[in-house]
Amino acid sequence: MTERALWVAKTGLDAQQTRMAVIANNLANVNTTGFKKGRPLFEDLIYQNIRQVGSQTTQNTELPTGLQLGTGVRTVATEKLHTQGNIQQTENSLDIAISGRGYIQILMPNGDINYTRDGSLKLDSTGQIVTAGGLTLEPNITIPQDAISISIGRDGTVNVVQPGSPEATNVGQIQLADFINPAGLDPMGENLFRESVASGPPIVGTPGEEELGIVLQGSLETSNVNVVEELVNMIETQRAYEMNSKAISTTDEMLSFVTQQL
């Protein structure tokens, strides 16, 4: 015995549970640098034709309206919204934010290149510029040990001032990669994204040129999660969940009433 209403309401509970998980993840990352919020996409499931509209009821008459029953809802996708987060001033010379499109390229230990909007960069013991997770930039940039100050230009040029020289020396260039469909990037955690079939291949270039954004030194891009929006979504999700569970308990009561009465 499968009771239709019970299973339909169950799909509703599943969908709300997924939505809650996405909201919880967004809220958990409200202070994660360069985080892009996610949202679930729902779709109604197919309808079942119980009685076909227009079918003959007799030789001369036909059914004016039929009965089509929906079978519930499903989560089609959880997509990332790659809108710009706020730019926060940190005054740290190795913090960079991208204003506009583009991702910083990161070399993974296995030789792959991943992408991030998290510009909280550091130096490692050998003077290489690395992410907070210790992964090097691509192309790799090394800062001389005796550097007094580091300046990163809007176009990604990295200059250092060394003792005994009034002029700054160029030590490298940060390049950005952009994608036709950033929403198709595969989020890997640790603020990293991976190229996928849906995102298209990366288009690498100099910051500020063509469509790429500029690099701002001494700033960080905050998470693009809007706390108020997430809280409103959470209330809505909770109520929708309650209503679906009410549908389950009501259907259950109907069935239990039958078994008790008859």
| 193 burial type by CB count under 10 A (0-12 exposed, 13-18 middle, 19+ buried) | buried
Rounded least distance, CB 228 to another protein, Å: 12
| 246 burial type by CB count under 10 A (0-12 exposed, 13-18 middle, 19+ buried) | exposed
Instruction: Point out which span in 112-120, 128-136, 151-159, 173-181 binds another protein (CB under 8 A).
Output: 173-181
169 binds another protein (CB under 8 A): no
Cβ neighbors of 7 (< 8 A, separation 6 or more) are 71, 72
Helix (H, G, I), strand (E, B) or coil at 50: strand
188 binds another protein (CB under 8 A): no
116 binds another protein (CB under 8 A): no
68 binds another protein (CB under 8 A): yes
Helix (H, G, I), strand (E, B) or coil at 253: helix
Cβ neighbors of 4 (< 8 A, separation 6 or more) are 69, 71
Q: How far apart are CA 38 and CA 183, in angstroms?
A: 10
227 binds another protein (CB under 8 A): no
| Of 24, 28, 41, 235, the one binding another protein by CB under 8 A | 41
| Of 62, 124, 146, 253, the one binding another protein by CB under 8 A | 253
| Of 28, 77, 188, 227, the one binding another protein by CB under 8 A | 77
Rounded least distance, CB 255 to another protein, Å: 9
| Of 21, 25, 27, 79, the one binding another protein by CB under 8 A | 79
| Of 32, 42, 92, 218, the one binding another protein by CB under 8 A | 42
| Of 31, 60, 61, 65, the one binding another protein by CB under 8 A | 65
What distances in angstroms separate CA 44 from CA 58, 74, 131, 250, one per listed residue? 34, 6, 42, 22
89 binds another protein (CB under 8 A): no
Q: Which region, left, alpha or beta, applies to residue 166 given φ > 0 means left and ψ of -120 to 50 means alpha?
A: alpha
φ, ψ (nearest 5 deg) of residue 133: -90, 5
| 55 burial type by CB count under 10 A (0-12 exposed, 13-18 middle, 19+ buried) | exposed
Rounded least distance, CB 54 to another protein, Å: 9
Residues that bind another protein in the complex, under the rule CB under 8 A: 3-6, 8-9, 11-12, 15-16, 19, 41-51, 53, 63, 65-73, 76-77, 79, 81, 83, 101, 178, 180-181, 183-184, 197-200, 203, 210-211, 236-237, 239-240, 243-244, 246-247, 250-251, 253-254, 257-258, 261-262
